[in-house]
Amino acid sequence: MSVDGYIDDASPERLRLSSPADFDRVDDVRASCDAILVGAGTVRRDDPKLLVKSESRRAKRVARGRSPDLTKVTVTWSGDLDPESRFFTTGDAPKLVYTASPGAQELAGRLDGRAEVIDAGDPVSFPAMLDDLGVRGVRRLMVEGGGGIHTYFMTAGLVDELHLVVAPFLIGDPSAPRFVGSGVFPQTPKRPMRLEEITRIGNLALLRYLVGGERG
Ligand SMILES: NC(=O)c1ccc[n+]([C@@H]2O[C@H](COP(=O)([O-])OP(=O)(O)OC[C@H]3O[C@@H](n4cnc5c(N)ncnc54)[C@H](OP(=O)(O)O)[C@@H]3O)[C@@H](O)[C@H]2O)c1
């Protein structure tokens, strides 16, 4: 995020806040996870591939009996997802779409086998989604945005660890997306997160927090 807490600007083009060194660190974290989740808003706006880029990290995953790429996960209420987006068309690992009951069947028909569509209740239950991912062997899930998804995970107390990378500029536009929106967060001045690591990545700062929250 920018120093003033934005994760994008308001222009139609994707704003890259990270440096090549930080993208490489992100690739390393991705490689250590079983699955990666972004919200449908990020699939629509950024059209990310969500793959592990480094060949050596891919090879190491294979040597450990895993797929070179992570299982991709997204969540949508509206079902507004383009089957041609790179979420669906890149990588060989499973793609999972959790959606609300009313539109699940229609969405499965529209995606036509490009992803498994899972009816996650009405409204979508995030704890049930995480339980289902656990049953599928996902132990470590990386959540990579955007702001709506961060807000939901943080307010629901479903986060163990937060990697916050601060880019050395400000966006200053209230219409741009923020790292989190408004909400009632379990992490309060009385129950703060624990700052576990501060690392300089060139001109960026990585702050790694253990979240704790209501679960301590
Ligand atoms: N700087 C970074 O590291 C970074 C990383 C990722 C994204 N971003 C930025 O973040 C922005 C996108 O953020 P965003 O908040 O618009 O989108 P988002 O968080 O990616 O996704 C929000 C969407 O997720 C679905 N969703 C959220 N809660 C749900 C629930 N309880 N039940 C069912 N579906 C639910 C909804 O999809 P439907 O609308 O389909 O119902 C909702 O619109 C973009 O500007 C992107 O560039 C930045």
Q: What is the pLDDT of residues 31-65, one digit of tens each?
A: 999 999 999 999 999 999 999 999 999 999 999 99
SS3 73: strand
Q: How many Cα atoms within 13 Å fall on the side-chain side of residue 155? A: 12
- Which residue's CA is the nearest one to ligand 1's atom 16? 41
Calculate how far, in angstroms, residue 181's C-alpha sits from the geometric centre of ligand 1: 11
Calculate how far, in angstroms, residue 147's C-alpha sits from the geometric centre of ligand 1: 6
Is the pLDDT at 122 greater than 80? The verdict is yes
| C-alpha span between 214 and 216 (Å, rounded) | 5
Is the pLDDT at 101 greater than 80? The verdict is yes
Calculate how far, in angstroms, residue 179's C-alpha sits from the geometric centre of ligand 1: 11
Going 109 to 30 to 10 to 186, the CA torsion angle's sign is positive
0.85 exceeded by pTM: yes
Residue 83, Cβ neighbours under 10 Å: how many? 14
Degrees to nearest 5, angle at CA 158 with 98 and 41: 45
Atom number in ligand 1 closest to CA 176: 45
Is the pLDDT at 199 greater than 60? The verdict is yes
- Domain limits, the chain: 20-210
What residues contact residue 159 under an 8 Å CB cut-off, 6+ apart?
Answer: 143, 153, 211, 213
Q: Hey, which of 3, 8, 17 would you mutate to test ligand 1's pocket, going by the most ligand atoms within 8 Å of its Cβ? A: 8
The second-level CATH assignment, the architecture, of 20-210 is 3-Layer(aba) Sandwich (3.40)
Calculate how far, in angstroms, residue 43's C-alpha sits from the geometric centre of ligand 1: 8
Pick from 109-113, 124-128, 201-205, 211-215: least confident: 211-215
Going 115 to 118 to 122 to 123, the CA torsion angle's sign is negative
